[in-house]
Amino acid sequence: EIVLTQSPGTLSLSAGERATLSCRASQSVRSSQLAWYQQKPGQAPRLLMYGASSRATGIPDRFSGSGSGTDFTLSISRLEPEDFAVYSCQQYGTSPWTFGQGTKVEIK
Amino acid sequence: QVQLQESGPGLVKPSETLSLTCTVSGGSISSYYWSWIRQPPGRGLEWIGYIYYTGSTDYNPSLKSRVAISVDTSKNQFSLKLRSVTAADTAVYYCAGTHNWFDPWGQGTLVTVSS
């Protein structure tokens, strides 16, 4: 199975700063079939991105995704208070579909 | 707008079978594939498997020998059965619409395996 490794484990930033989150795959993710999710405490994950760079419905344009092959990035251009959460990547190019362990974006 | 709601026991004894149901509202169960995903406390997400309304399934090999997912189109529901549970199966279990990525999600239900 494809193992997804996210870094850093925790990112400490202030509101208004830019966040850059990494997701690295143990083997190439076919056709950039990678999604990103946001999860807040006690809530279900929320789809942010699919196809590595397509925003889901209702997701603000301060969120962007990029990458291909084994290296993918989620960027948040200017952190808003509601963006502090855990972010997870997921590949769906090869079964079994797998998730990264998550990056926590916390308030500095 | 499609909404999902998990239901089932919150406590299961070791070696018994965990059974959960997901009810789909606001849309037809024939519209998507449907998955079960779990998250042990403080840990990452794990895809368990999916089902299509025709009954076609795919399971994570790590759980395949113990898992069965079924669908009841008349009730707009799909269900999860996980046999021979241990403490390692304690987790929040989510159901989700599946387009390869997962959206929407149910709110999740905590299942604790303990005697």
Please report which confidence band the pLDDT of residue B21 belongs to, taking 50, 70 and 90 as the band edges.
very high
Per the DSSP assignment, residues forming a β-bridge with A36 are A49, A89
* Å between B74 CA and nearest CA of chain A: 27
Question: Is residue A93's pLDDT more than 90?
Answer: yes
Angstrom CA distances, B63 to A2, A67, B36, stand at 16, 31, 12
Nearest to A86 by CA among B12, B96, B42, B58: B42
> Per-residue pLDDT tens for A40-78?
999 999 999 999 999 999 999 999 999 999 999 999 999
Query: Least CB-CB distance to B44: which of A46, A92, A102?
Result: A102
Question: Is residue B5's pLDDT more than 90?
Answer: yes
Check residue A39 and give its pLDDT: 98
Contact call for residues A103 and A8 (beta carbons, < 8 A): yes
* Å between B102 CA and nearest CA of chain A: 7
Name the residue of chain A whose CA is nearest to B62's CA.
Answer: A96
| Percent of chain A whose pLDDT exceeds 70 | 100
Check residue B26 and give its pLDDT: 94
Please report which confidence band the pLDDT of residue B32 belongs to, taking 50, 70 and 90 as the band edges.
confident
